[in-house]
Chain A
């Protein structure tokens, strides 16, 4: 088990290092001159050279990459070009906001998804199952910016129950800010919800058809015991993987959802950095997201192996 985990960890570390190279290469080597960006097109050549020197852009790329990664690991993420402030506190502030949003979404879609998936599986081919399956399929095909706009139209404009903009002032407590979190959280949750429902349904349907479940039913166990001790323990395994991988999905969904709702999370920060071509900020944010994504995949793998001894391959 330990060997499996270390092996996976090794792969994740390697992947993240390679990803950092891609991020660095994509943002640093490709066209566009930061000095011209910052100082404007009419700045003197001397000023540009000075700025490049100050930012370390005149060094060889390998050296630049090495010092960038080294500084990142040591916690020195540099200054943002567009806001002229230190990047790390900015990114962590935004990450905290995103984490809260993701947590609210998570607490909503995981239980609801599992329950809906189970109902669909237990009432297979009935109209309930049809409704749940078709409904979840429809949500998979619905981009966040569409579902967000629909939700805003219904709950903010027509009913007036919830705010349509979720800009949260720093310092407000999460309790007072909670109503602002509901619509973005639902938007983020909808796509992931559909995946959980489908995964739970299909794996439960498989487990329900196994011999040991039939034996359990035939030997007279009450249905709830069959469900909890025989079915769920096996059928929720794939769902766990989907939940952990869902963190990556959340990250993608957050970029769009946060910009619709004006929510100051890490996704909108990344978009802001991209629009301003703020290279250090793009690099730090992107690498952090890749890091989170990689770690959540690692957790998914290890968790899966812990819960399912049959999978401990080497």
Chain B
């Protein structure tokens, strides 16, 4: 209850403002909210755990992720190998730990690029309005009319799977979604008095866009971007599973989950998919 009161005060602004020191800082507020919502706190802890794992993965992994030991191949979990071993006797835990790094990096870079480009397009399109806005948005709608995995497959089929291409695919897929969110915020903010005031007092367009509109569209943008980030991890893992993700030398987490289906030696399974013979790969 008190948390809600604080927020309301913060927004409406008391007629007699309290001295600065007594108002809870933003950091405090965030912390207090986190503690009140166990789900959010758990989520944060899990996220940080995996983030740390991705950053320090190679240093904490118990084995070298490519070290093969044929004597212990296809083992169930043991004390030495908590997640068991794969068909080459490589430690699966180590491979997951090291592989999570790739997924974070690829998904993260792709989402970040998408956020930058999407914000730029959304700002420009929404602020310009009129025909330009209509045309840009219709074109982005076309990209949205593909199921994302389909578009990713079609694009990767022609350029071939590589880390750079994966990042670009994630970017292309998420630019329209982020642009839409930013644009809708711009359309809304454009009519607000403070933006009008800035325009009337003769501020430059860049000032209006970046100092008045952009900061106010940040909250939904951040929410959308973080959602996209989680979906991008999903996407990169799915593509990895289909054999179009990170290519053999470095591992991705996704490939490892196939263990039961690939363990039959006669069928190599999707993870061992190599690109079809082509002079370009």
- Which residues of A are in contact with B by a Cβ distance under 8 Å? 14-16, 18-19, 22-23, 26-27, 30-33, 36-37, 40-41, 134, 141, 143-146, 149, 152-153, 157, 164, 248-249, 251-252, 255-256, 259-260, 270-271, 273-277, 282, 286, 289-290, 293-294, 297
Main secondary structure of the interface of B (DSSP, over half): helix
Q: Mark B245-281, 1 if CB is under 8 A from A, else 0.
A: 0000000001001111100000000100101111110
- Cα separation A145 to B160 with both chains bound (whole Å): 22
Which chain B residues border A153 with CB–CB below 8 Å? 260
Among A16, A40, A260, A277, max chain B CB count under 10 A is at: A277
Q: Say yes or no: A18 contacts B142, CB within 8 Å.
A: yes
- Interface segment out of the listed B9-17, B21-29, B175-183, B235-243: B235-243
- Which residues of B are in contact with A by a Cβ distance under 8 Å? 39, 138-139, 141-143, 145-151, 153-160, 230, 234, 237-238, 241-244, 254, 257-261, 270, 273, 275-280
Identity of the chain B residue whose Cβ is nearest the Cβ of A142 in the assembled complex: B234
Identity of the chain B residue whose Cβ is nearest the Cβ of A255 in the assembled complex: B149
Which chain B residues border A37 with CB–CB below 8 Å? 276-278
Which chain A residues border B148 with CB–CB below 8 Å? 252
Which chain B residues border A286 with CB–CB below 8 Å? 150, 153-154
B11 → chain A closest CB, angstroms: 23
- Cα separation A271 to B161 with both chains bound (whole Å): 13
Q: Say yes or no: B242 contacts A251, CB within 8 Å.
A: no
Q: Say yes or no: A259 contacts B276, CB within 8 Å.
A: no
Q: Say yes or no: A19 contacts B145, CB within 8 Å.
A: yes
Identity of the chain B residue whose Cβ is nearest the Cβ of A29 in the assembled complex: B158
A20 → chain B closest CB, angstroms: 10
Which chain A residues border B258 with CB–CB below 8 Å? 145, 149
Q: Say yes or no: A31 contacts B146, CB within 8 Å.
A: no
Across the A-B interface, how many residue pairs have beta carbons closer than 8 Å?
A: 119
Which chain B residues border A273 with CB–CB below 8 Å? 157
- Cα separation A16 to B145 with both chains bound (whole Å): 8
Identity of the chain A residue whose Cβ is nearest the Cβ of B242 in the assembled complex: A271
- Cα separation A1 to B138 with both chains bound (whole Å): 22
Q: A16-B145, A143-B238 are in contact. Are A255 and B158 (CB under 8 A)?
A: no
Main secondary structure of the interface of A (DSSP, over half): helix
* Contact among A146, A251, A275 for B273, CB-based, below 8 A: A275
Q: A41-B279, A256-B241 are in contact. Are A27 and B260 (CB under 8 A)?
A: no
- Cα separation A153 to B275 with both chains bound (whole Å): 29
Q: Say yes or no: A23 contacts B154, CB within 8 Å.
A: yes
Which chain B residues border A260 with CB–CB below 8 Å? 261
Which chain A residues border B157 with CB–CB below 8 Å? 26-27, 273-274, 277, 282
Known: A15-B142, A274-B156, A276-B276. 19 other contacts (CB 8 A): A15-B138, A16-B145, A26-B154, A27-B157, A30-B158, A37-B278, A40-B277, A41-B277, A41-B279, A249-B147, A255-B149, A256-B149, A259-B270, A271-B242, A273-B157, A275-B275, A277-B276, A286-B150, A294-B145
Q: A15-B141, A27-B157 are in contact. Are A274 and B244 (CB under 8 A)?
A: yes
| Subset of 18 A-B contacts with CB under 8 Å | A15-B145, A16-B145, A18-B138, A19-B142, A19-B146, A27-B154, A31-B158, A32-B160, A149-B257, A149-B258, A252-B147, A255-B150, A255-B153, A256-B241, A259-B270, A270-B153, A273-B157, A282-B154
Closest 9 A/B residue pairs (Cβ): A30-B158, A274-B157, A18-B142, A252-B147, A252-B149, A145-B241, A251-B147, A15-B145, A248-B147
* Contact among B39, B145, B259, B273 for A290, CB-based, below 8 A: B145
A37 → chain B closest CB, angstroms: 6
Q: A26-B158, A259-B242, A275-B243 are in contact. Are A31 and B142 (CB under 8 A)?
A: no
Q: A26-B155, A282-B154 are in contact. Are A289 and B139 (CB under 8 A)?
A: no
- Cα separation A33 to B241 with both chains bound (whole Å): 26
